[in-house]
Amino acid sequence: MYKYIIRRVLVFIPMLFALTVIVFGLMQAAPGDPFTGKLDPNVDPEVYEQQKEALGLNDPIYVQYFRWLGNMLQGDFGESIVYKGREVTDLLESRVSNTLTLGTFSLFITILFSIPIGIYSARKPYSILDYTVTTFSFFGLAIPSFFFGLVAIYFFAIQLGWFPSQGTVSSPNLQGAELFWDKIHHLILPGLTLGLGGMATYTRYMRSEVLDVLSGDYIRTARAKGMTENTVLYKHTLRNALIPIVTLLGFEIGAILGGAIITEGVYQYPGLGTLFINSISSKDYPVIMVIALMIGFFTLLGNLLADIGYSLVDPRIRYE
């Protein structure tokens, strides 16, 4: 098993390397250079050439790549083109924590809803509640998240006024518990919007997993021994049904980070997603590169954790 984990981690490293090559390659394919649009037409072409030489833009492409990679590894992400002279690190700081908060919150709601509902549907399959849940999960998968977000803003923020329609806090002066609840209040609508697809998927997943486990021989044995239904359910079934679900959450990280781009766009939530959208409209390549890399890194990490988690709980899985 340790062999498997070590080999899996060793595969992770070339994947990361490939990720940096892809992102760098895509950006090299972009038209223009860092001077595009900034250049005074009266500048002497020779000065321009000197500047390019000084920045190393005339070096062979692999030299540029390794220089860029070296800078990235040292935490130097370069300067934003649009926010003149601002370090990318600066720009990212608050954005990353906002997106992580939103992602964690939505994952939390996903688990909170889908696991109990999935269990309940599985205990009473083909009941009215089970059919209702199935119908809702079909709806949840078919409705575009941004449309759901707009409908939620329209009803819950504009018509009913229960929740704010955008932002992360209502006033910068709040502190302590008040600040915490205010933040949660702002997170509910975006969190639900982001978690919608996951909720639908995981409810269905949980239901089929519990149904699967319930049909096992050891469950029949437990019942035959005269255990109460609750013990059977919580002690024998849940443990086995939850394992694959929890490890699968690792794969969810990529989906959440990707979904956050759209959700943040709907709620004008100041996270990585809105920064990514803005950078793409303004062609701010250094920022686009870093965000794509970060999302790729977290997605890969999530997949790695899911694979390792899976192999830990299910010894049948081996790397071929």
Q: Give min distance, CB of 309 to other proteins, in A.
A: 19
Rounded to 5, what percent of the chain is helix, strand, coil? 75, 0, 25
246 binds other proteins (CB under 8 A): no
276 binds other proteins (CB under 8 A): yes
Which residues, 6 or more positions from 3, have their beta carbon under 8 angstroms from its beta carbon?
A: 319
Stretch that binds other proteins, among 26-34, 38-46, 101-109, 212-220 (CB under 8 A): 26-34
56 binds other proteins (CB under 8 A): no
Distances from the Cα of 271 to the Cαs of 12, 151, 174, 294, in angstroms? 27, 21, 20, 13
Site for other proteins in 118-177 (CB under 8 A): 138-139, 141-147, 150-151, 153-154, 158, 165
Q: Tell me which of 82, 248, 280, 313 binds other proteins, using CB under 8 A.
A: 280
18 binds other proteins (CB under 8 A): yes
Q: Give min distance, CB of 46 to other proteins, in A.
A: 29
Q: Give min distance, CB of 191 to other proteins, in A.
A: 18
96 binds other proteins (CB under 8 A): no
Q: Closer to other proteins at the Cβ: 24 or 236?
A: 24
Tokens of 201: 């998927």
- Quote the CA–CA distance of 149 and 220 in Å, as a whole number: 45
Residue 273 near residue 265, CB atoms below 8 Å: yes
Residue 108 near residue 184, CB atoms below 8 Å: no
Closest CA to 86 of 275, 267, 296: 275
Closest CA to 253 of 303, 218, 206, 212: 303
Residue 286 near residue 79, CB atoms below 8 Å: yes
Q: Give min distance, CB of 258 to other proteins, in A.
A: 3
Q: Tell me which of 246, 262, 301, 304 binds other proteins, using CB under 8 A.
A: 262
Question: What sign does the dihedral 158-160-165-170 (CA atoms) show?
Answer: positive
Q: Closer to other proteins at the Cβ: 18 or 184?
A: 18
Tokens of 271: 């996270």
201 binds other proteins (CB under 8 A): no
Q: Compute how many residues bind other proteins; rule: CB under 8 A.
A: 47
Could you list the residues that contact other proteins (CB under 8 A)? 15, 18-19, 22-23, 26-27, 29-31, 138-139, 141-147, 150-151, 153-154, 158, 165, 254-255, 257-259, 261-262, 265-266, 276-277, 279-281, 283, 285, 288, 292, 295-296, 299-300
